[in-house]
Amino acid sequence: MLVGLSIHNVVLIERLELAFAPGLTVLTGETGAGKSILLDALGLALGARAESGLVRKGAAQAMVAAAFQLAQDHAVQRLLEEQGIAAEDNLILRRQVGSDGRSRAFVNDQPVSVAFLKTLGEHLIEIEGQFETHGLLDPANHRDLLDGFGGHRALLEATAAAHRAWRAAEDALAEAEAALAQARSDEEYLRHAVAELELIAPQPEEEARLAQERQVLMAGAQVIEAIGAAHQDLAGDRGADRTLIAAERRLQRVADRLGDALGSELAAIAGCLDRAGVELREAIAGLQSLQQALDADPARLERVEERLHALRDLARKHRIRADDLPAHLAELTARLQLIDGRSGDLAALQKQAAETRGAYVRAALALTEARGKAARALDQAVARELAPLKLDKARFVTRIQPLPEMQWGEAGQERAAFEVATNPGAEPGPIQRIASGGELARFMLALKVSLARAQPVPTLVFDEVDAGIGGATAAAVGERLKRLAGQVQVLVITHSPQVAALGAQHWRVEKKVAKGATSTSVATLSAEARREEIARMLSGATISDEARAAADKLLKGAA
């Protein structure tokens, strides 16, 4: 709820600090005292359009700050989190407007856009005047208000979940159908390409292996000659192999004639020669094997080159790398399977889409039926409020209109609209187009009282909701404002003593002229001052004893 309002240099207000309480707060004062300036200032803090004319004459800038207490689960907490602003129990919206009309907006001293400030304001305060076109008068809000009135949260959650499941199934089906249609359009190409690739049967990283083997084979005779010479050097009559064996034998014979120390050392050396011989013989065997392989297939180079050229030609044809040919074959094969073996999968997706649609329709139908019951209950609740507000000939109707399937959504299959008929026999129409200014304000009050438990905004402001009425009707307006204030915080600007007498908090707005300057101030009234103010509202400029007695009666009746 709104707990404080600080106003500096706004039109006639030089400096004003207001503290708000729960329940019903009434603001009274003579016409022209500046009550509308308070609303303009509050609107600035809530993101309304800024104009240089709002800045007090002679001041460099105007400033308004509105402080709120928030519940932990208030929708504003999520909005703050999305903007990276620390969510706290207290929230301060601040707006500065320069004499050039430029403005800056802040939330908890962090700069924000005016648009974001306005979004927050719409969740915090609703200002209801005779010609307001938001809040209850916006048809976009009517379905949500009806659901709040009917307590449809569980049905809404079930319908939203069913709709998401249906849309997911429809998307999966559409994707599969599109893939199948594309595959069918490319079927001839796909079959040819798969057959061609399967004939070649490319292997992973085959190009690199073939290129390396081709390089070796192209060396040809030079490689074979070098291998043969190396083999002769190692294994010939005077090769390293025979030399090592001879040296090892000599050392073994000599070692037997030496003492233990020298004999052991010489034996160790002979062992080294033996191990070297083992490694050398493995190298000789490897050279023999490689020489035989190269000599065994003189046509190998031609086959390697043919295979390499075939892979590269196929890669160019498909505009990919040769190493990607195996993956490309797998992809084309999968696309063919959409035609050859996916009809069963498509049928399963079609079945799932139909089943999830049916589940959504059933959930939405339950919500539709609940909305119908809530609409009838709301119509009856509003009707009970209309007669005391001197609208007994009017009729309020909550119209539920089915939506075409393409507009079905998580919130169901229909829209809701609040309509009224002010004359007997007339067809109901949109409330803001049918009702006159005074009627509209009272219709809105009747709605607000009926929808109190569904009210998403914690603070309501009524601007002269009692305009043009008096007596019993004004008393009925006041009684409903007081009842509404039991559910949410209510601020009302009023000229009606019957309404003023019901306030839990009473402020008087005054305009004063001092040293040639005009200013507006707001005073919290004591019990005696409140009696005098209500007496003034009853009798005018001259307050009579009769007016004071009548004020006492009103205040006593309101207690």
Spatial neighbors of 223 by CB under 8 A, at least 6 apart, are 216, 294
Higher-pLDDT residue of 531 and 230 is 531
**Does residue 438 fall inside a structural domain?**
no
Q: Are residues 537 and 413 in the same domain?
A: no
pLDDT tens digits, 298-328: 677 888 889 999 999 999 999 999 999 999 9
Instruction: Count the neighbouring beta carbons within 10 Å of the beta carbon of residue 176.
Output: 17
For position 131, what pLDDT does the model report? Answer: 44
For position 372, what pLDDT does the model report? Answer: 97
**Does residue 534 fall inside a structural domain?**
yes
Q: Are residues 533 and 420 in the same domain?
A: no
For residues 433 and 328, what is the distance between their CA atoms, to the nearest angstrom? 65
Last residue of a domain, one of 397, 428, 459: 428
Q: Are residues 407 and 549 in the same domain?
A: no
For position 142, what pLDDT does the model report? Answer: 92
Max mean pLDDT among 30-39, 127-136, 137-146, 295-304 falls in 137-146
Residue type, 322: A
Max mean pLDDT among 128-132, 229-233, 407-411, 497-501 falls in 407-411
For position 297, what pLDDT does the model report? Answer: 65
User: Has residue 341 got a pLDDT over 70?
Assistant: no
For residues 365 and 519, what is the distance between their CA atoms, to the nearest angstrom? 59
For position 419, what pLDDT does the model report? Answer: 92
Last residue of a domain, one of 373, 398, 428: 428
Last residue of a domain, one of 428, 455, 478: 428
For residues 375 and 370, what is the distance between their CA atoms, to the nearest angstrom? 9
Q: Predicted confidence band at 135 (pLDDT cuts at 50, 70, 90)?
A: low
Helix residue spans in 201-259 (DSSP H): 206-219, 221-235, 240-255
Instruction: Count the neighbouring beta carbons within 10 Å of the beta carbon of residue 527.
Output: 8
Average pLDDT estimate for 477-501: 90
| Long-range Cβ pairs for the range 79-82 (8 Å, 24+) | 79/116, 79/119, 79/120, 79/123, 80/107, 80/120
For position 506, what pLDDT does the model report? Answer: 94
For residues 559 and 552, what is the distance between their CA atoms, to the nearest angstrom? 11
**Does residue 88 fall inside a structural domain?**
no
Average pLDDT estimate for 322-351: 83
**Lowest-pLDDT range, 13-27, 59-73, 96-110, 212-226?**
212-226
Higher-pLDDT residue of 515 and 350 is 350
Q: Predicted confidence band at 435 (pLDDT cuts at 50, 70, 90)?
A: low
Asked if 13 contacts 37 with a C-beta cutoff of 8 angstroms, the reply is yes
For position 133, what pLDDT does the model report? Answer: 45
**Lowest-pLDDT range, 236-240, 345-349, 430-434, 462-466?**
236-240
**Does residue 133 fall inside a structural domain?**
no
Instruction: Count the neighbouring beta carbons within 10 Å of the beta carbon of residue 6.
Output: 17
Q: Predicted confidence band at 383 (pLDDT cuts at 50, 70, 90)?
A: very high
Buried b (16+ CB within 10 A) or exposed e, 204-230: eebbeebeebeeebeeeeeeeeebeee
Asked if 356 contacts 165 with a C-beta cutoff of 8 angstroms, the reply is yes
Q: Are residues 183 and 290 in the same domain?
A: yes
Query: If we measure between CA atoms, which residue out of 294, 316, 317, 314 comes closest to residue 306?
Result: 314
Q: Are residues 377 and 264 in the same domain?
A: yes
**Does residue 375 fall inside a structural domain?**
yes
Radius of gyration of the chain (CA): 46
Buried b (16+ CB within 10 A) or exposed e, 231-254: beebbeeebbbeebeeebeebeee
User: Has residue 181 got a pLDDT over 60?
Assistant: yes
Q: How many domains does the chain have?
A: 2
Max mean pLDDT among 130-139, 156-165, 187-196, 263-272 falls in 156-165
User: Percentage of the chain surpassing pLDDT 90?
Assistant: 37
Q: Are residues 153 and 289 in the same domain?
A: yes
For residues 78 and 71, what is the distance between their CA atoms, to the nearest angstrom? 12
Q: Which domain holds residue 256?
A: 148-428
User: Percentage of the chain surpassing pLDDT 70?
Assistant: 91
For residues 48 and 101, what is the distance between their CA atoms, to the nearest angstrom? 13
For residues 92 and 85, what is the distance between their CA atoms, to the nearest angstrom? 12
Spatial neighbors of 115 by CB under 8 A, at least 6 apart, are 47
Q: Are residues 532 and 417 in the same domain?
A: no
Spatial neighbors of 473 by CB under 8 A, at least 6 apart, are 388, 389, 390
For residues 28 and 464, what is the distance between their CA atoms, to the nearest angstrom? 10
To 10 degrees, the CA torsion angle through 509, 49, 430, 461?
-30
Q: Are residues 547 and 398 in the same domain?
A: no
Average pLDDT estimate for 457-483: 84
Average pLDDT estimate for 438-458: 81
**Does residue 512 fall inside a structural domain?**
no
Average pLDDT estimate for 72-79: 84
**Does residue 162 fall inside a structural domain?**
yes
For residues 118 and 299, what is the distance between their CA atoms, to the nearest angstrom? 83
Q: Are residues 190 and 328 in the same domain?
A: yes
**Lowest-pLDDT range, 152-161, 214-223, 400-409?**
214-223
**Does residue 113 fall inside a structural domain?**
no
For residues 221 and 356, what is the distance between their CA atoms, to the nearest angstrom? 73
Q: Are residues 192 and 311 in the same domain?
A: yes
Q: Are residues 291 and 419 in the same domain?
A: yes
Average pLDDT estimate for 270-294: 76
DSSP class of 374? H
Q: Are residues 382 and 233 in the same domain?
A: yes
Average pLDDT estimate for 88-109: 89
pTM, to two decimals: 0.64
User: Has residue 296 got a pLDDT over 60?
Assistant: no
**Tally of residues, the chain:** 559
